[in-house]
Every structure is written in structure tokens, then in C-alpha cells.
Amino acid sequence: MHFDDHKITESGNSRLSRSMPLVSFGDSPVGLGNRIDYPLNVCSIGRRERFNAYQCLKKGEIGPAGHYRDQFEARFAELVDAQHVLAVSNGTTALHLALLLMNVGPGDEVIVPSMTYVATANAIRHTGATPVFADVSLQTWCLDPEDVAARITPRTRGIVPVHLFGTLADSALLEELAHTHGLWVVYDAAHAALSTLKGIGSGALGALSSYSFQLNKTITCGEGGALAINDTALFKRAQRLRSHGMDYQTRFLLHEVGYNYRLSNLHCAILCGTLDCVEEIRKRRADIAEAYDKELAGTAGLVFQPVIHDQKREVWLYSLLCDPSSGVPSRDTIMRDLARLGVETRPFFPAIHRLSFHRLPPKKGRPLADLPVSDFLAHHGFCLPTHMSMTPDDARQIARFLKQLLAGRDCGLKRDVANGAA
């Protein structure tokens, strides 16, 4: 078995020895002492990753260039079906580099979904451009092309669709829209390293896709990222920008102001170890999702992540919504009660258009953008445990807890509370 011991939770502690809140609602965190039976995400460092890392350490090859970096870039390009891949320090810097390659800057507007991790919008702000938030569609949970069209202005330069929770955004419609208006498209594929459309990897979509290998991702080295590039001239410039604007072959031949966005050979060694196990990762995660799907099928009050024709999505975190119109307890109540039963969950991202520091500068009469689907997902969406150290049986047990809570049964919670567990 590849995934054996070394298990680390999302917060960096070793499994089952954690004493911290499982969910936090405002001022009233719900804690369980040491009892987390079902952590949300456990990072498993397997034998191959450890072997590769040890080789790097033994030879002192832990710097910014080296055999594992070259190998990782070539193998990840093959995995996501991209022409080129550049390993970088994280997913945010990958996105920033992609935007710099599109020459975006102050005065420009870039359309982005409100329902994403804040890093997507932050990277746009790092260039000096303004993120303009568009809504997502209930059919995909990704950018709604119609809403994007309504937000295009003479200042719009590009669109950054996000493949949320592994579902690939509607690239055909978005690329067509971009083409009609002379815009570029850069994909945020942080959740979609293993997603495919008609059997082709996510890195084949458009010219540029960014990836994250942060601790909670399906493929991880703790912190890391990559940019998939389907244009050789852009790739050459990206190589320079990654390393202070320096010529890739000739030392100290400097061309422009660049960045230090390099990823170490040691990180790439870990990633190469994980790439050896991609099929095992796909299968285990698909089995977990299938166990949740089957056990939860037909449960009143739940809305499942949309299934899109021709797509196989990466199973990152199993994600679903509590439908408020069906009379079941609220998402927050369900999450709190699951926490009391030892199940760690997490809400969807906050809708970014609501964050004061990301709102468009107030203009007279301009109301806050109306993005009802993003708000709906932010209020009602939550993620269940999904990782390589759990089994489909674990998923079935969690699903049974969830079903009982939705049906208004307390699963012994009152007894636990009386015993001082909550």
C-alpha cells in the first residue's frame, strides 16, 4: 500500500491528536477535545515521496533547479495534456505569472467568479487590475457565461474561470465569448489537476492554466504550484519571469523585472513521488465519492455537485448544498452537529464580491453586484471528509450521520452532550 503512515491534517497536525475547533461560527467555536474521528483532509506522504525527498537531501539537491524539477514539469505536462509546464512556488504566483504574461495592469478589468478562493481575485489585484465579479451558474457552480457577457466593458481585458471543486468551467462558451470581444482566458485549475473533458486533461484548455499543490490539494508538496502553457513564446517569457527576468540558459543575462517564483527541486521530488500514484489517487477518491453518492442518493434537502456530460472531475473535497427550501436544518446546524459527532467539515468559500476590500470602488448609484447563485452557494454549501487515508466505509458512515441529522434525528448527540463531549 502506497499510503501508509505519515498522515498530516490540513492544519498540519498529525491525525487524531488534534485538539482544536472543528468548525467555527462567529464567536462560538464547536470543539471536541481530542475527538476527530473523521478529519476533513489528511495529507498522506507515501514511500515514494519520502524516497525521492531523501535522495535530494542526501545529494544536497534541494535548490531551485534540478533533475526532479525537470522530471516533474515534463510529467505534469503529460498528466494535464499541456504543451509546457512551469513549476512555481504556489497557485497564487502561477496565476499572477499568467496574468503578467497577458500584460494586464492598472486600469484593466478582469472578470472572475465571486464563488472561488480569494487567491483568484488577489492575483488580479497584484497586477494592479480590477477584478469584476460575475455569478456562477447552478448547472455547473462555475462561471455563468451569460452573466460574464453582461459585465464586459471597454476596459475588460480577460476572463479567469475557476474549475470549482474539480468541475471544468464551460470553456467552449467562455472561449467563444472571449473571442467575440477580443479577450483572453486564463483558467484557475487549482482543483482540477485530475479533471478531464472528453478524456483530455484540464491543461489543454486555452493557453494558460494555473495549479496549486498546497497541503489540502489532491497532488501536494505542502506549498507549490504550476502553470500549464500552450504557447512556446509565452513559456519562454514565463521561465524568465519566474526567476528575476533572467535568461533561462545564460546566467545573469537579464531582460526585465521578474520575480522569485521558483519551486525547489526538493518540492518537485515529493510531487514526482505522488505522480507515480496518480491512478491509485483517482481510484480511491472516486470510490469515496461513489460511496457518498450511493448512501446519500434521494435524501431530501441535499443538492449534489452537478454532473457534467463528457467530464470526469477530480474528486477534491466532496461538496454539496443543504437546500433551505426543503425544511431541513440549516447548513450551519448540520455542520455543527456533524462536528459533535466527530466529523470535520468545511463551508464553501465566502462570496468574494461581499468582501469589503474586494468590492468595486463605490460610485454614486452603483449597488453591490447582485450575484444570487454565488451567495446561495456561500450560505448553503459544505464539504465532507475526502482524502486518501479514509475508506468508502468511512464515507458511508459519515453519510449515514448526515442523513439522520437531516431527518431531524439526533444520532445520540443529546447523550454525548450530557456526557460532556461537546
Ligand X SMILES: Cc1ncc(COP(=O)(O)O)c(C=O)c1O
117 binds ligand X (CB under 6 A): yes
Q: Shortest approach of ligand X to residue 342 CB, angstroms?
A: 26
Residue 65 identity (one-letter amino acid): A
- Main-chain phi, psi angles of 47, to 5 degrees: -60, -40
Annotate each residue in 171-190 with x if it binds ligand X (CB under 6 A) or - if it does not, as one string: -----------------x-x
Residue 305 identity (one-letter amino acid): Q
Q: Which is nearer to ligand X, 177 or 193 (CB)?
A: 193
Q: Shortest approach of ligand X to residue 421 CB, angstroms?
A: 32
Contact residue for ligand X among 212, 319, 345, 386 (CB under 6 A): 212
Contact residue for ligand X among 206, 225, 273, 381 (CB under 6 A): 225
CA 155 to chain centre: 28
Residue 325 is placed in which grid cell?
427550501
348 binds ligand X (CB under 6 A): no
Q: Which of residues 123-162 bind ligand X (CB under 6 A)?
A: 162
Contact residue for ligand X among 9, 41, 52, 90 (CB under 6 A): 90
Stretch near ligand X under the rule CB under 6 A, chosen from 35-43, 86-94, 252-260, 340-348: 86-94
Number of residues forming the site for ligand X (CB under 6 A): 14
CB-based burial of residue 296 (10 Å sphere; 0-12 exposed, 13-18 middle, 19+ buried)? buried
Q: Which of residues 306-335 bind ligand X (CB under 6 A)?
A: none
383 binds ligand X (CB under 6 A): no
Q: Can you point out the beta strands (E) in 241-317?
A: 302-304, 311-312
Residues in the chain: 422
- Identify the DSSP state of 341: T
Stretch near ligand X under the rule CB under 6 A, chosen from 49-57, 76-84, 116-124, 133-141: 116-124
| Angle at CA of residue 81, ends 79 and 87, nearest 5° | 65
91 binds ligand X (CB under 6 A): yes
Q: Which is nearer to ligand X, 351 or 405 (CB)?
A: 351
Largest CA distance in the chain: 70
Q: Shortest approach of ligand X to residue 213 CB, angstroms?
A: 7
Residue 382 is placed in which grid cell?
459544505
Q: How far apart are the first and last CA of the chain?
A: 36
* Beta strands 208-212; 184-188: pairing state: parallel
119 binds ligand X (CB under 6 A): yes
CB-based burial of residue 404 (10 Å sphere; 0-12 exposed, 13-18 middle, 19+ buried)? middle
92 binds ligand X (CB under 6 A): yes
116 binds ligand X (CB under 6 A): yes
User: How many whole angstroms separate alpha carbon 33 and alpha carbon 190?
Assistant: 32
120 binds ligand X (CB under 6 A): yes
Q: Under the rule (CB under 6 A), what is the footprint of ligand X?
A: 90-92, 116-117, 119-120, 162, 188, 190-191, 212, 214, 225
